[in-house]
Amino acid sequence: MEHPILTAIRRAGFTPLGWFAPKADDRAPEGARFGILIGNAGPAMFRRFAAERDPSTDAMDAWTRDVVTVLARDLDAQAVYPFDMNPPWPFLTWARRGGAGHVSPLGLNIHPTYGLWHAYRAALLFPVEFDIPSQDPGPNPCESCEAKPCLSACPVNAFSGTNYDVPACAGHLATAAGQTCMTGGCLARHACPVGQGFAYAPAQAQFHMRAFLKARQEA
């Protein structure tokens, strides 16, 4: 039977992506004894967002804060967000601690179940530690993937395996040739064989690609 805290997170439309007991060098807020990373994996969270806000005009960060604030209050937790704080909270470090995956050649976290089709939206931090079995991410699937199709799928070769050419990616998306990526999602992500069943549907993919391009144009 799943732990009731994880069940409550799922009922709110979020996916528990990893959990850990912070150590001194994890740079977690003072008093945090247990952390659970939550976010989207597949369509559940986006469906709730689209039902409560207008994806064509509303920002997901603002909605996330509104919803997770209530969830955190109900669970007696503190919520922190990857889009807060400068420098930002070390979500990828926490992901490694929580057994939530490995670093892929794209620089993105690759989850053992969800592949590249997930994102961290918040971390719930608790003043007590829970008896939830730790996760084992298993071996990094990228190390046994000889072809590494993710690196060759990008039309503008934005991924080298060590670097991500963000300007090249954003520039391509702003052209007519980039509309395949804009409407269907990142071709490099689609090329990865892990977690294909959780790939974003077109509406979700378009939302995230528009948000990415807008952020780059406003930077």
Domain ranges of the chain: 4-126, 149-218
C-alpha–C-alpha distance, residues 122 and 147, integer Å: 33
Q: Residues 24-62: pLDDT tens digits?
A: 899 999 999 999 999 999 889 999 999 999 999 999 999
- The tokens 């071709």 sit on which residue? 187
Inter-axis angle of helices 60-74 and 4-11, to 10 degrees? 150
What's the pLDDT score for residue 87?
Answer: 84
**Peptide bond preceding 112: is omega within 30 degrees of 0, i.e. cis?**
no
- The tokens 């806000």 sit on which residue? 53
For 91-206, where are the E strands, in sequence order?
Answer: 102-103, 109-110, 118-126
> Rounded mean pLDDT of the chain?
94
Q: Work out the pLDDT band at 215, boundaries 50, 70, 90.
A: confident
For 130, the token pair is 């829970």
* 208 DSSP β-pair partners: none
For 105, the token pair is 């050649």
What's the pLDDT score for residue 1?
Answer: 67
C-alpha–C-alpha distance, residues 160 and 49, integer Å: 34
**Taken in order 126, 129, 133, 135, is the CA torsion positive or negative?**
positive
- The tokens 């930077």 sit on which residue? 219
User: Above pLDDT 90, what percent of the chain?
Assistant: 90
Q: Residues 122-170: pLDDT tens digits?
A: 999 999 999 999 999 999 999 999 999 999 999 999 999 989 999 999 9
Q: Is the pLDDT of residue 217 over 90?
A: no
Q: Is the pLDDT of residue 20 over 90?
A: yes
What's the pLDDT score for residue 82?
Answer: 94
The mean pLDDT value for 1-29 works out to 94
What's the pLDDT score for residue 5?
Answer: 96
Q: Is the pLDDT of residue 119 over 80?
A: yes
